[in-house]
Amino acid sequence: MKKIAVTTLGCKVNQYESASILSTLDKESCELVPFSQHADVYIINTCSVTGRAGQQSRQLVRKAMKQNPDARLIVTGCYAQMDPQAILDITEQRACIVGNAYKNLISSAALKDEKCDLTMLMGNIGQQKEVCQLPVTDFKDRSRAYLRVQDGCNNYCSYCIVPYTRGRSRSVPLTELLVQMQIYVDNGYREVVITGINVGKYGLDQNESETIYSLIDRLCRDFPETRIRLSSVEPTEITDTLLDLLGQRQNFMPHLHIPLQSGDDGVLSHMNRRYTTQQFREVVMAAHQAMPLGGLGCDILGGFPGESEEAHRNTLALLNDLPISYLHVFPYSRRPGTLAASMKEQIPEPVKNVRISALRALDQRKRTAFLERNLNTIHQVLFERKNRGDGLLQGFSENYLPVRCEGPTNYIRQVSNVRVIKIMDGYLLGVIVEK
């Protein structure tokens, strides 16, 4: 029986697509093994959003070759799409390099006994009009499932390589999404995360009058026992309609992740972000008013070319003033092929590191303040597993609080009412209470 190993770097869309590959392979006469083990086939789903992600992608290729020099090697994902030659330069055996638009062919290529016929299947990703079909039946040990509703991006932010590796914004037809949702429900998933590269653009490329707002409303109505969570949404796409849904649909989780990137208007302009700091402030305050205990996260990109000390301080000041729950902080990473890569005034690494440290310190303060705001309140927690260290049940509340408490194993993958009573090291300790 052929042994196949799959590993994934990067975003939720990549994770969804790998789950589809695994779902297909799981039905075939093969053995799925951890990537750290000897395998006959290694499938590597790569990422290129940062320089480090590209480095990790190359390391995984080398690791697979070291574990079994005779293995079939299939490399896909954004790094493979962006720079296939870099993969060929380090492979000692013939590799199959598959572009993002053809991931639906990977499972059959892995199962074939003869040599791989996808040696270089890339295509022009910018000309793709549809999202390739990749149904998922199972997310293995995950308690939350991802629903990929859209792929690609039309924004072309000056620092981002993704539009060149994912193509233009394309939506999955509603009929496919409803079928996928029913599969998740039938398989016992209590929470589904809507994901994509730019989910706020869902439906705009189709002639079906669907939008991300109508999609959320439809999913909440059709699957009332399933928690619906939105993975990330641009500031310009947080509308009154979206905020109204938070109040109208009890199974639409009160948690929004809103990319900011910089709290300085000059830097935002150079990033080609299409909003101002004042607009971002208004959006956050409106969201906070709609869900006072809701989770509000954002992405920050520190050390962008030309970012002055004043611009850095402006970012810290803006975030400090707003009721943000947590930050995802990233250092700017120069990506060849993007406009920002050729910009002057690249920030020296020592300066960038100091700024990143300040942003991460602010993140810790924000997380602690959010935990404190939720003390002595009752939340609905989806338990995902037992913590290996202390044996407590652990999971996330509806507003994306990490919560642990004592309880039996049969509570895993179930939603329970939990009163949070104490702040621990980065999470809340709670007790299960009767509904």
CATH number of the domain within which 118 lies: 3.40.50.12160
Query: What integer is the mean pLDDT of 80-109?
Result: 90
pLDDT digits (tens, 9 = 90+) for 175-200: 999 999 999 999 999 999 999 999 99
Q: What are phi and psi of 77, to 5 degrees?
A: 90, -175
Residue 299 in contact with residue 160, Cβ under 8 Å?
no
Q: Is residue 290 part of a domain?
A: no
Strand, helix or coil at 410? helix
**What amino acid occupies position 407?**
G
Q: How many CB atoms lie within 10 A of CB 232?
A: 23
How many domains in the chain? 3
Do residues 104 and 141 share a domain?
no
Q: How confident is the model over 282-306, as pLDDT tens digits?
A: 999 999 999 999 999 999 999 999 9
Is the same domain home to 113 and 223? no
Can you give the CATH number for the domain in which 201 is found?
A: 3.30.750.210
CATH number at residue 396: 2.40.50.140
In this structure, the answer to whether residues 22 and 49 fall within a common structural domain is yes
Looking at residue 142, its pLDDT comes to 82
Cα distance between residue 95 and residue 270, in whole Å: 39
Q: Based on the domain organization, do 138 and 242 belong to the same domain?
A: yes
pLDDT of residue 14: 96
Together in a domain, 74 and 140: no
For residue 94, is pLDDT > 80? no
Contact criterion met (CB below 8 Å) for 429 and 393: no
* DSSP structure class, residue 110: H
**How does pLDDT run across 301-311, given as a tens digit for each residue?**
999 999 999 99
Give CA–CA dist 356/350, Å, rounded.
Answer: 10
3-class SS of residue 119:
coil
The pLDDT, as a whole number, for residue 18 is 96
Range of the domain at 420: 378-432
Q: Which of 229, 253, 277 is the last residue of a domain?
A: 253
Check residue 113 and give its pLDDT: 80
pLDDT of residue 224: 97
Whole-number pLDDT of residue 211: 97
What's the pLDDT score for residue 98?
Answer: 93
Question: What confidence score (pLDDT) does residue 117 get?
Answer: 64
When the pLDDT of each residue in the chain is averaged and rounded to a whole number, the result is 94
Average pLDDT over residues 41-61: 94
Q: What is the mean pLDDT of residues 3-21?
A: 96
Quote the tokens at residue 35: 């990537």
Provide, rounded to the nearest whole percent, the portion of the chain with pLDDT above 70: 99
Assess if residue 321 is contained within a domain: no
Query: pLDDT digits over 109-156, tens only?
Result: 899 887 766 677 888 899 999 999 999 998 877 889 999 999 999 999
Mean pLDDT to the nearest integer, 345-364: 97
Does 107 share its domain with 182? no
Whole-number pLDDT of residue 393: 97
Do 95 and 131 belong together in one domain? no
Beta-bridge mates of residue 42: 5, 73
